[in-house]
């Protein structure tokens, strides 16, 4: 991550190589011969840990493809209560707001590099490349299915079931190191705000899952799944 994030050619235009690789994932369906022209429309953006890519309610002027790092998408109530509606990982696509304004804030959990398109140019691209539009529709549908699963979690699962579901889902999306260790870049507060719990309950539930042998915790920012079948049974009720 840090190699890409620190690369000097990522600080501005034009598109860096790592971004170009990520962009291909989104843009499959486009004639490969047109990719250079496509790359010319995009720029690299590096965002420091904790900084905001855009805020809820901002005019939606840009869309992104994640190259490296982790982004949290969150919605706030006026009194400060927060719900994290998702975490974006490398390869994910982000910012496709219909209605003109973003429906959530996007903040960098770690240092982030993302491939940025101006929205009008991207929308024109959609018109010209039906394959690209189909890809975006498929991704949006997948996001919707994930959101519905999260509704089941938030509405009906216990704290243990929520954390088990989250850890399994995050492990599946992450690259897993030797020994089955999964890096957990976000803090307990972010996990709590994603699972509809408090940090104390998240912390207690981590300890609980460790005590009962379902996971181990090499550090506060990593975990290892020990009994996957049992954890899965817990997660799915």
Partner DNA sequence: CGCACTCTTGACCGCACTCAACGTTGGTGG
Partner DNA sequence: CCACCAACGTTGAGTGCGGTCAAGAGTGCG
Which residues form the interface with its own copies (CB under 8 A)? 73, 75, 77-79, 81-83, 85, 96-99, 103-104, 126-127, 130, 133-134, 136-138, 140-145, 147-152, 154-157, 193, 195-196, 236-237
By CB under 7 A, which span of 133-141, 171-179, 212-220, 224-232 interacts with DNA? 212-220
Angstrom distances, CA of residue 65 to CA of 11, 139, 146: 15, 12, 18
By beta-carbon proximity to its own copies, the closer residue of 15 and 95 is 95
Residue 133 interacting partner from its own copies, DNA, none (CB closer than 5 to 8 Å by kind): its own copies
- 219 makes contact with DNA (CB under 7 A): yes
Binding footprint of DNA, residue count (CB under 7 A): 21
CA dihedral 221, 50, 90, 102 (to 10 degrees): 130
Residue 152 interacting partner from DNA, its own copies, none (CB closer than 5 to 8 Å by kind): its own copies
Burial 185-221 (b: 16+ CB within 10 A, else e): bbebebbbbbbbbeeebbeebbeebeeeebbeeeeee
- Tally of CB atoms within 10 A around 231: 21
| Look-up of token digits 């999964």 | 182
Among residues 158, 176, 213, 237, the one that binds DNA under rule CB under 7 A: 158
- 61 makes contact with DNA (CB under 7 A): no
Nearest one of 190, 192, 174 to 72, comparing CA atoms: 190
Q: Are 18 and 6 in contact (CB under 8 A)?
A: no
By beta-carbon proximity to its own copies, the closer residue of 59 and 152 is 152
Where along the sequence are the contacts to DNA (CB under 7 A)? 158-160, 187-189, 196-204, 206-207, 217, 219-221
């Amino acid at each position: 991550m840090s190699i890409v994030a620190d690369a000097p050619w990522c600080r501005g235009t034009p598109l860096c190589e790592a971004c170009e690789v990520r962009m291909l994932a989104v843009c499959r369906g486009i004639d490969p011969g047109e990719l250079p022209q496509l790359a010319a429309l995009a720029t690299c953006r590096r965002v420091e840990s904790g900084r905001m890519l855009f805020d809820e309610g901002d005019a939606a002027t840009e869309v992104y493809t994640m190259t490296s790092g982790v982004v949290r998408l969150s919605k706030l109530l006026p009194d400060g209560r927060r719900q994290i509606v998702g975490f974006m990982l490398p390869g994910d696509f982000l910012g496709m707001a219909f209605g003109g304004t973003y429906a959530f804030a996007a903040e960098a959990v770690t240092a982030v590099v993302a491939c940025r398109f101006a929205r009008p140019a991207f929308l024109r691209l959609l018109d010209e490349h039906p394959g690209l539009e189909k890809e975006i529709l498929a991704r949006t549908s997948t996001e919707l299915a994930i959101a519905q699963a999260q509704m089941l979690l938030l509405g009906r699962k216990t704290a243990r079931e929520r954390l088990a579901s989250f850890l399994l889902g995050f492990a599946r999306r992450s690259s897993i190191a030797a020994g089955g260790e999964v890096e957990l870049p976000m803090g307990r507060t972010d996990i709590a705000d994603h699972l509809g719990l408090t940090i104390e309950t998240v912390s207690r539930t981590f300890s609980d899952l460790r005590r009962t042998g379902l996971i181990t915790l090499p550090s506060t920012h990593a975990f290892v799944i020990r009994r996957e079948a049992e954890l899965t049974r817990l997660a799915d009720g």
